[in-house]
Structures are given as C-alpha cells and as structure tokens.
C-alpha cells in the first residue's frame, strides 16, 4: 500500500507545516507514518527535540532508540535493526548524519543494500550562526557516488511528508536532505504526484529552464517572477530526487531551451549542478548550463538570510545572475 495515500493534506496542515518548518514537520511525518508501519523504528543521536520527535518518543517508546552523541554507532545499530526486519529511520544534523558516518553508510548500509532511511536535519546554510562545522554543503556530493543509495531533497512541508512516506516503501538505503528553518515558504498548496526519480514542473515558460532542489525551489519560483516582469519566462522544475536524477526531465528541458539553470543550497561541485552536467555532457545539442550554488568556499558564519546572500541564493540574485548570462 502506497504511503502517500494516507497523508492528510489540508490548507490548515500546509500552513502549519510551513510555520513550524522542516524539522518539526519531519517529526509529524514520522509520527503519522508509525500508524501505518508496525515495523517502524527510529534511531537518533541525541536529537529527539531538535528533530521534532519528542511526541514520537513518548507515544512509541518501544520504537525509539537514542544512542547519544554517537552517530557512527547510530548507523551500525540501524543496520542491525533493519537486517532483522525493522523499517528504520535515523535522524541527526546533516553533517553528522553524512560526513561523520560516511564509512558506516558505505559499508554497513550501501554495500549490503540494507534498507535504512537517513534524515539529515538542517542541511545547507540554515545553521549559519553555528558556523561551518554545523552547516552542510557537501552531503549530496559525498553520498551521490555511493552505489545503492537514493537521495531526496524535498521543497516544502508536503514534499517532506511525501519523501518520508516514499522512503518507507523503498527496499534500499535512502538519504532525505532537509533544508530551511522555521517559516519555510510554501511551494505546494495541494497534493502532488511525488515519485522518486521523477521531477515536478512547478512553473512553465518558454525562454529557459530553472532546475532547483530543496528550499531553492521557492527562491527559483520567485526569481522566475522577477524575470517575467522583464519579459523572460522560465520553467521551474523541482528536482526532489538527486539520485537517481530525472534524466527525462533534463532532456525535455534541453530539447526545449538553450539555457538550463541549476539552483541549489549546496556546493556547485558534486550536487545538482554536477548531476545535470553529467547528463548534458552526452547530450547532442547546444544547450548551455548556468550553475547557481555555493561556489566551493566556506561562507562566513551568520544568520540564514546573510548566508544565502553571501552565496548569491536570494531570488533577486538568482534572477540577476540569469539576466547577466543571457
């Protein structure tokens, strides 16, 4: 039974998920998922409150394991539970979920194709006030080269619910990358057809195509509005699956437009930009690509808006960058 058939999508819930932000919304999604998966088990590394999982911990204590600040151990425990038939979700902050656990992810999960869903909280730049040790601009690049691993990057609250439910149905390791903080903008007001590996065209236009992921989908939509005021009309795609990338969507964009713009809250090396470039390298056409993201540097610490502006990721900067390339 498909999990996305059980999500209660209402205008009230959509507004709530936007207001509380990515982490509490993830907690709500897992809480709802438990009603439909008796085999669900959640393993965290001392982040039940940060992940919005306190209610889950109190409601389902038998389904909750906190290993403390021991992320590598968390992956080992998750692999053992999954190997014994549990549907396991691990949760901690993105740099510790991925970079700190890279060897365990490769050996304990991917190599044996063990079904565990890893959720990286506060990826990208949202943890800017804590410095680059707590930001995560490399996770997709590090994980994308590991076989047997899928990577999801939802755009908003509905996307988070859809990603969580979809991951629960996949019989292999999955990484869910959560970006943004509280008061996350709404991209989808109604139900969407979310399928792993199939991008969603959110906005249509004939002049160029913007392919974005995570919270940058909203910023790209805003950039497209700015461009439309200048008579330039862009399609905007939500590439919610970064591995496997939707090659058909990229090909459709390349066939339609001479310019593809990728926008991501990640290093331009290794993430969405690289995935699209890898496909276009074998594409027989004259489509060019503009990569907008973090230009391979560590930004100076600061609040989220400051970090985005440093990296050229505000809607106004995205639009101006595109205009300069035309």
Measured CA to CA in angstroms, residue 119 lies from 15, 63, 116, 261, 314 at distances of 22, 17, 10, 27, 25
Cα–Cα distance measured from residue 177 to residue 160, given in angstroms and rounded to the nearest whole number:
9
Cα–Cα distance measured from residue 251 to residue 145, given in angstroms and rounded to the nearest whole number:
22
Strand bridging mode 64-66 / 288-294: unpaired
For 264, the token pair is 């991501």
Cα–Cα distance measured from residue 267 to residue 305, given in angstroms and rounded to the nearest whole number:
17
Question: In the annotation, is 264 catalytic?
Answer: no
- What is the CA 278 to chain-centroid distance, rounded? 20
Are 95 and 134 in contact, with CB atoms under 8 Å apart?
Answer: yes
For 157, the token pair is 């609250």
Q: Which of 5, 38, 62, 71 is catalytic?
A: 71
Instruction: Work out the number of other CB atoms within 10 angstroms of the CB of residue 250.
Output: 26
Catalytic positions, written as ranges: 71
């Amino acid at each position: 039974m498909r999990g996305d058939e059980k999500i209660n999508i209402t205008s009230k819930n959509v507004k709530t998920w936007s207001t509380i932000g990515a982490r509490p919304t993830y907690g709500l999604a897992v809480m709802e998922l438990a009603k439909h998966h008796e085999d669900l088990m959640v393993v965290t590394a001392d982040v039940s409150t940060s992940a919005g999982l306190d209610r889950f911990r109190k409601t389902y204590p038998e389904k909750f394991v906190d290993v403390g600040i021991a992320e590598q151990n968390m992956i080992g425990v998750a692999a053992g539970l999954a190997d014994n038939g549990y549907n396991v979700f691990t949760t901690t902050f993105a740099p510790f979920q991925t970079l700190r656990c890279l060897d365990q992810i490769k050996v304990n999960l991917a190599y044996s194709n063990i079904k565990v869903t890893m959720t990286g909280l506060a990826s990208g730049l949202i943890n800017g006030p804590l410095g680059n040790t707590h930001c995560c601009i490399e996770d997709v690049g590090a994980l994308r080269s590991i076989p047997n691993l899928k990577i999801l990057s939802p755009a908003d609250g509905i996307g988070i619910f859809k990603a969580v439910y979809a991951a629960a149905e996949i019989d292999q390791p999955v990484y869910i990358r959560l970006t943004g903080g509280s008061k996350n903008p709404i991209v989808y007001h109604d139900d969407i057809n979310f399928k792993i590996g199939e991008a969603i065209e959110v906005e249509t236009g004939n002049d160029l195509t913007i392919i974005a992921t995570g919270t940058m989908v909203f910023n790209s939509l805003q950039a497209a509005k700015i461009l439309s005021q200048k008579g330039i009309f862009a399609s905007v795609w939500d590439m919610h699956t970064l591995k496997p990338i939707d090659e058909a969507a990229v090909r459709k964009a390349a066939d339609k437009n001479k310019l593809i713009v990728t926008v991501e809250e990640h290093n331009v090396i290794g993430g969405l930009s690289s995935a699209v470039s890898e496909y276009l390298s074998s594409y027989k056409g004259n489509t060019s690509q503009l990569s907008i993201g973090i230009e391979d540097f560590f930004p100076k610490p600061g609040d989220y808006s400051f970090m985005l502006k440093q990296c050229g990721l505000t809607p106004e900067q995205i639009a101006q960058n595109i205009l300069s390339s035309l």
